[in-house]
């Protein structure tokens, strides 16, 4: 997974954001990558990088969210980086297609946001996901197909989002209009 480590380092080193908190998080990710050769692998116990995609329709009026079985909350599509992924961006695309069933999909060249959160992982127990969050756009009217990784999968109007969304999902939803 050395190529993924190199890709993540290059992507994050070039990445910038208007919010100081996001820039600090980027610096944390870069420091983490420099300290952990296995930072891209789910077996990295202190944490590992993940890739996700906020899937929106072309009109930017709807967002596709999954009801995550472990967390019990509506989240963007995403997950672990796999050894066969060629980049963080490719991992986000793969996750969006696997979990949403929509192809073709256009995805941002770089992440739109970063989010670090505690999560239980099968391989290592409680750990942290250092999520690189991309924006993915699909044609209006695309039909989503639920995968076995979700309890539910639904399109939501950006004006009528489900209750209980965490701050990172709300921030991603807000970023939809900025891109």
Greater confidence, 164 or 11? 11
pTM, 2 dp: 0.94
pLDDT digits (tens, 9 = 90+) for 98-140: 999 998 999 999 999 999 998 887 777 888 999 999 999 999 9
SS3 166: coil
Percent of the chain scoring above 70 in pLDDT? 98
Contact assessment for residue 16 and residue 95, using Cβ atoms and an 8 Å cutoff: no
CATH homologous superfamily, domain 2-178:
Nucleoside Triphosphate Pyrophosphohydrolase (3.90.79.10)
- Mean pLDDT, the chain, rounded, equals 93
Q: Where are the domains of the chain?
A: 2-178
Q: What is the pLDDT of residue 178?
A: 60
pLDDT digits (tens, 9 = 90+) for 139-176: 999 999 988 888 899 999 999 999 989 899 999 999 87
Return phi, psi of residue 35, to 5°. -95, -15
């Amino acid at each position: 997974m050395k190529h993924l480590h190199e890709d993540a380092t290059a992507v994050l080193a070039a990445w910038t954001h208007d919010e100081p908190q996001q820039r600090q998080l980027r610096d944390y990710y870069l420091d983490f990558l420099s300290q952990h050769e296995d930072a891209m692998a789910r077996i990295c116990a202190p944490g590992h990088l993940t890739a996700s995609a906020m899937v929106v329709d072309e009109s930017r009026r709807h967002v596709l969210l999954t009801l995550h079985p472990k967390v019990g909350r509506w989240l963007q599509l995403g997950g672990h980086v796999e050894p066969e992924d060629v980049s963080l961006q490719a991992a986000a695309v793969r996750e969006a297609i696997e979990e949403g069933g929509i192809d073709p999909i256009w995805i941002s060249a770089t992440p739109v946001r970063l989010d670090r959160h505690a999560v239980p992982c099968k391989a290592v127990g409680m750990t942290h996901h250092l999520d690189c969050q991309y924006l993915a756009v699909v044609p209006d009217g695309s039909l989503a197909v639920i995968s076995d990784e979700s309890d539910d999968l639904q399109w939501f109007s950006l004006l009528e989002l489900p209750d209980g969304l965490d701050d990172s999902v709300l921030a991603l939803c807000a970023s939809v209009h900025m891109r």
